[in-house]
Amino acid sequence: KPSTIPGLEPTTQEDGNVSDINRAGSLHEFLLDLHKQFGSIVSFWIGKEYVVSIASPELFKEHQGVFDRPPSLFKMFEPLIGPKSIQFANKSDGRARRHLYDTAFSHDNTKRYYQTYQDVSDELAKKWSSLVKEEHVPLSVHMFAYSLKIALLTMFGESFANDKDILEFRRCYDVMWAEMERRLTENEPEKDSPRAKAFEEALKKSSSLTSRVVKHRRDNPPIQGQELIIDLVIKYSDGDDELLNSDAITYIVGGFHTTGNLLTWAFYFLASHPEVQEKAFREIKKELGNKEVDHTNIDDLPYIRQIVDETLRCAVVAPFAARFQDFESELGGHKIPKNTPVIHALGVSLKDEKYWPLPNKFDPDRFSPENVKTRPPLSFQPFGFAGKRVCPGYRFAYAEATVCLVTLLRKFKVKLVDDQVVNPVHGLVTHPEEEIWIKLEKR
């Protein structure tokens, strides 16, 4: 045993505890069980690799300065985001990229995206208005269309404003993402199999869409201070097109898949908790009247923020992050062998009964100012917490979700279609197993 950390012996030499993870349904559910059994620091084996997982504010604090991410745990996403993606960049390269790229999502720069959030929200509101009464609406289809359009417009610019390209990108993306999720539990497909070919074709098409945007941005550089993430990636990659494509797709994937799911879960919770929906509506009416939400008044909507926070917690939108150190270290009084991946079990800590009684209950009041004061800040870290490498898009996600919620909730009551069983699937991001169907009533 490489350390004194409690946990599992490998079930088989070859797979370690992979069969146990598959049996649990997902890494998140496996970790929920393991931490319940052994405490806030645990160990297990993925194949022949020894892995540690932590899930408490105290242990998170000890890891707060660690930047490097273990490449092995996210390897299966390499075909989609490319080996040179920021996801895999460590040390000075990773830090330099984050330093540059983060400027696109700084507090000041996020202000300029509000108009896009609003325009795309208005488009969706118009579509909802045109639906017939009692029509069944596929919630995640609508939320993903919304979040993809926003991601492409704000990160790639207006040259991607064409709905045909957005739909084409979406189609490619669905093929690629479905293949990535299959690879979590199945082997890679044979080289020339239909599955492999479909993946390659989708990747080629989406890359050619990206290349067109890059050419357009190179030919029409933005004025200083107006750079989007794509311009900063072009700058950093300095002619390395593989890096350029990798980081461009990483930001689109990071920005659209997560927020699409956040909004899907938010509307699902609101539809199943009409009293919360009414309270949100009253706040919007009282604080904004008919005004749009923007950076000057978003803080006047604390209850909407509570709903977003409770959605991130209760749905566990992103269940984990991870770090490693290339030297022997100590954590929770245990020695950690060098290069051991340490999972930050964000999702396990978001369901810790010590801080979240009845953890599966959706209750935005957990985030009232009085209740927030009773918990350590590291008990709620849905965007990660370590090494100045938290999710770069957290401000973006809050603002995008708020504009969408305000625009739609002030115009519609959202209800669930009866008799649905909604089950979460916890991959790298948590999504519903099947489509969630809603009905709309005009206010």
Question: Binding site for heme: which residues?
Answer: 391
Minimum distance of ligand HEM from residue 385's CB (angstroms) = 7
Question: Is 298 near ligand HEM (CB under 6 A)?
Answer: no
Closer residue to ligand HEM, CB minimum distance, 350 or 409:
350
Contact in structure between 234 and 244 (CB atoms under 8 Å):
yes
User: Could you give the C-alpha distances from 82 to 22, 234, 246, 248, 259, in angstroms and in order?
Assistant: 26, 16, 5, 10, 22
Closer residue to ligand HEM, CB minimum distance, 28 or 389:
389
Could you say which of 30, 144, 251, 267 contacts ligand HEM (CB under 6 A)?
251
Question: CA 73 to CA 96: how far, in whole Å?
Answer: 22
Tell which positions 99-118 bind ligand HEM, by CB under 6 A. Answer: 105
Minimum distance of ligand HEM from residue 56's CB (angstroms) = 16
Q: Which stretch binds ligand HEM (CB under 6 A): 25-33, 44-52, 166-174, 249-257?
A: 249-257
User: Could you give the C-alpha distances from 406 to 128, 216, 257, in angstroms and in order?
Assistant: 14, 34, 21
Could you say which of 57, 341, 393, 424 contacts ligand HEM (CB under 6 A)?
393
Question: Is 259 near ligand HEM (CB under 6 A)?
Answer: yes
β-strand partners of 63: none
Could you say which of 176, 180, 262, 345 contacts ligand HEM (CB under 6 A)?
262
Minimum distance of ligand HEM from residue 205's CB (angstroms) = 22
Nearest to 406 by CA among 135, 121, 165, 149: 121
Contact in structure between 169 and 209 (CB atoms under 8 Å):
yes
Binding site membership: which residues? Answer: 391
Contact in structure between 121 and 407 (CB atoms under 8 Å):
yes
Task: Name the token pair of 235.
Answer: 């700058």
Tell which positions 150-209 bind ligand HEM, by CB under 6 A. Answer: none
Minimum distance of ligand HEM from residue 322's CB (angstroms) = 7
Question: Is 343 near ligand HEM (CB under 6 A)?
Answer: no
Question: CA 256 to CA 320: how far, in whole Å?
Answer: 18
Question: Is 383 near ligand HEM (CB under 6 A)?
Answer: yes
Minimum distance of ligand HEM from residue 387's CB (angstroms) = 7
Could you say which of 36, 98, 212, 279 contacts ligand HEM (CB under 6 A)?
98
User: Could you give the C-alpha distances from 382 to 36, 186, 314, 317, in angstroms and in order?
Assistant: 20, 28, 10, 8
Could you say which of 86, 271, 315, 406 contacts ligand HEM (CB under 6 A)?
86
Could you say which of 57, 364, 392, 432 contacts ligand HEM (CB under 6 A)?
392
Contact in structure between 359 and 351 (CB atoms under 8 Å):
yes
β-strand partners of 78: none
Closer residue to ligand HEM, CB minimum distance, 314 or 391:
391
> 369 — phi, psi (to 5°)?
-55, -40
Question: Is 232 near ligand HEM (CB under 6 A)?
Answer: no
Which residue has the CB atom at the shortest distance from ligand HEM? 393
32-38 contact pairs (CB < 8 A, 24+): 32/347, 32/348, 32/351, 34/7, 34/8, 35/345, 35/348, 38/6, 38/7
Closer residue to ligand HEM, CB minimum distance, 228 or 440:
228
Minimum distance of ligand HEM from residue 101's CB (angstroms) = 8
Q: Which stretch binds ligand HEM (CB under 6 A): 295-303, 332-340, 385-393, 432-440?
A: 385-393
User: What are the helix and strand counts (H, E) for the chain?
Assistant: 17, 11
Closer residue to ligand HEM, CB minimum distance, 109 or 407:
109
β-strand partners of 53: 42, 343
Question: Is 318 near ligand HEM (CB under 6 A)?
Answer: yes
What residues line the site for ligand HEM (CB under 6 A)? 69, 86-87, 98, 105, 250-251, 254-255, 258-259, 262, 312, 317-318, 321, 382-384, 386, 389-393, 396-397
